Every structure is written in C-alpha cells, then in structure tokens.
Amino acid sequence: MGSGDLESRGSSKNRGPPPPPPASNYYTSSSPYYTESLEKQWTSWLVPMIVVANVAMFVVIMIVNDCPKNHNSSLEGNCVARFLGRLSFQPLKENPLFGPSSSTLEKLGALEWKKVVNDNQAWRLVSCIWLHAGVIHLLANMLSLVFIGIRLEQQFGFARVGVIYMLSGIGGSILSTLFIKNNISVGASGALFGLLGAMLSELLTNWTIYANKAAALTTLVIIILINLAVGILPHVDNFAHIGGFLTGFLLGFILLVRPQFAWQERRHLPVEARGKSKYTVYQYVFWILSMILLIAGFAVGLIMLLKGENGNDHCSWCHYLSCVPTSRWHCNNR
C-alpha cells in the first residue's frame, strides 16, 4: 500500500515513548479499494514477468500454428494479415479473436476433458493458463492483470500474489473440466478472477483499516458481478471464472490478512504497552474456515476429476452458470 517506515520521534531520552501520531498519518483513502498505510511497499516485478511470459507464449503458439502452411485457404478462406508470415492469423470465420486454430491450442496444452481424464494429462490444468485464443483475448486478460495484479503485488509482495494467481488458475481449470466436456478451454481468466476474489476477501478480513468501507465494497462487488455476467455468453468459460474466483476468495482470507488498526496504531510502542492483539477473532475464524474449505474443495474436485465424473450429473442447473441459451445462440457445453 503506502510507502515508508515509521520513524522515531523526539530527541530526548527522558521523554519516554513518543505519542502515537494521528490516525490520519496512518490511513488515508486514495482509492475506493484500499486505504494507504505506512507499511512497506513492494516493487512489482512478478506481474510484468507474467505478462511477458504470456506474450512470448502467444508468439510461440502462432509460430507453431503457421497458418499459411497448415491452413487450406480454398476451404475456409485466406489467413488474416498474411504479411506476418508464420505469425498470421486463422480466418476470422474460424477464429474471430485473431489467433491460432483450435487444433494448435489443443496440441500445446489447452484444457480438454478427454485428455485430462482418459489420457492422464493433468498437466493441462496448468498449461492452459498460459495459452490464449487470440490477440483480443490476450490483450483483455493482460490489461486486466496489470490493473489488478500490480496493485496487489505492491501491497502484499510477489510470493503471496504468485500463489493466489497460480492456485486460482488451477482451481478454475478443475471446475471447468468437471462441467465442460465438449469444448477446449484456454486463458488466464481463472487466475485473474482469483485476484478479484482475493481483493474481496482482503477487504472483508481487513475491514477495520478501510476509510471508505461501503464505497470499496460496492465498487468491487459491481465489478465482479459484471464480469461474471459476461461469462454467461457463449464461448466464454464462466466455470473457470467461478472456480478461480472461489479459490482466490478463500486464499485472500489466508494470505492477505493485515494487523488490525488498533495494533498498527500502537506498534511503535513497547510490547508490554500495546495492549491489543495483532489480529481479531474473526480474522482467525476466517483463516481456519478458508483453509478447511480450500483443502476440501481441491480434494473433492481432483477426486471427481480423476474418476471421470461429470459435474452436470450432480447439478442439473449448473450449466446455466456458463451459458444461458437464447433465440440467438445455443449452448453445448454439457
């Protein structure tokens, strides 16, 4: 969050411990999401590295795809932007996102139920996070990652944000594979929704340090609901979004806990003079419950997946969470 460390005040040894500065020196509200504190601010390098890795991976995908060589133009039209050579895109009728063919994505690690369950290729739960269906898909995800991830990394460090990103991506992959049988899935959306979920739980578990609580909560919930609502459109894997969001939400209670305001206010005093516990009871309760739910959720999901079970058999209406059929489109994810 904020930058700088607490500095000792007062020059006389006989004055005793200096009085705590006003609360306004500790917390201000520069945005609806977070308050600013005098805690250490981390330098963000992990999120930019993830962006670079995703862009580099997309270039590799397009080189392998090699549309001019592998595509039959007489059947489906010409490659788009042929001046790019091997990097040119599939015809827009085949891929409107300016990207490779589905067969290329499948070859390089796209998430597919049959490959994971029947061919024991569980590594696809991770590899699919680093693949994107096209330039538009890549730009949308990477811009979101920059706006969400850099701020979180500056506040909580690369280790915690990295764990949330990867585990949320895997959680999204597991839920997606359990419910979507007929399509492949790629993208970092599950991991990104995990960061959104972590932001929400961080707000709830650190409620006492926020200046504009209602504004922060309302804004964040609206952003999450809008993004989840977009997921009910066809060709969007909302199960990856939901799985990633739930994983990140639980991880936020575990990894993003902050000391309560009263402890922060007195932390420069001697230990015996603080008189306040570092964390509140509800923070401990959230931490324990989230740890139990997270472990149980991953265990149940992986067991169901390895057994080849179809999540739709246990939830007859859940398929509507990813696609709602209308007169203009149909859904075929089951």
Evaluate whether residue 327 is within a structural domain.
no
When pLDDT is cut at 50, 70 and 90, the band that residue 196 belongs to is very high
8 within a domain of the structure (yes/no): no
The CATH number that applies at residue 307 is: 1.20.1540.10
> With 0-12 CB in 10 A as exposed, 13-18 as middle and 19+ as buried, what is 301?
buried
Average pLDDT of 187-209? 90
What is residue 5's predicted lDDT score, i.e. its pLDDT?
40
Q: What is the mean predicted confidence (pLDDT) over 261-266?
A: 59
What the block records as the tokens of 323 is: 């696609």
- Give residue 116's domain range: 24-321
pLDDT band, very low/low/confident/very high, at 197 (cuts 50, 70, 90)? very high
Q: For residue 217, what are its two tokens?
A: 């909560």
28 within a domain of the structure (yes/no):
yes
Residue 289 has pLDDT above 50, yes or no: yes
Paired with 185 in beta bridges are 111
Distance CA 93, CA 114 (A): 26
For 111, the 3-state DSSP assignment is: strand
**Overall number of domains in the chain:** 1
Give the range with max mean pLDDT: 21-25, 116-120, 327-331: 116-120
Higher per-residue pLDDT: 310 or 59: 59
Q: Is residue 332 situated within a structural domain?
A: no
Residue 271's pLDDT is what? 57
Q: What is the pLDDT of residue 290?
A: 96
In-domain check, residue 5: no
Look at 324 and 62; give whichever has higher pLDDT: 62
Give which of 140, 162, 100 is closest to 241, Cα–Cα: 140
Q: Is 2 within the bounds of a domain?
A: no
In a domain, 7, yes or no: no
Measured distance CA(291)–CA(294) in Å, rounded: 5
pTM over 0.85? The answer is no
**Nearest CA-CA partner of 76 in 96, 95, 91, 97:** 91
pLDDT for position 308: 87
13-17, 127-131, 145-149, 210-214: least confident range:
13-17
Instruction: Answer whether residue 71 is part of any domain.
Output: yes
pLDDT digits (tens, 9 = 90+) for 40-90: 688 899 999 999 999 999 999 999 998 888 877 666 678 888 898 889 998
pLDDT in tens, 114-164: 899 888 899 999 999 999 999 999 998 999 899 889 989 999 999 999 999
Catalytic residue numbers, as ranges: 189, 241
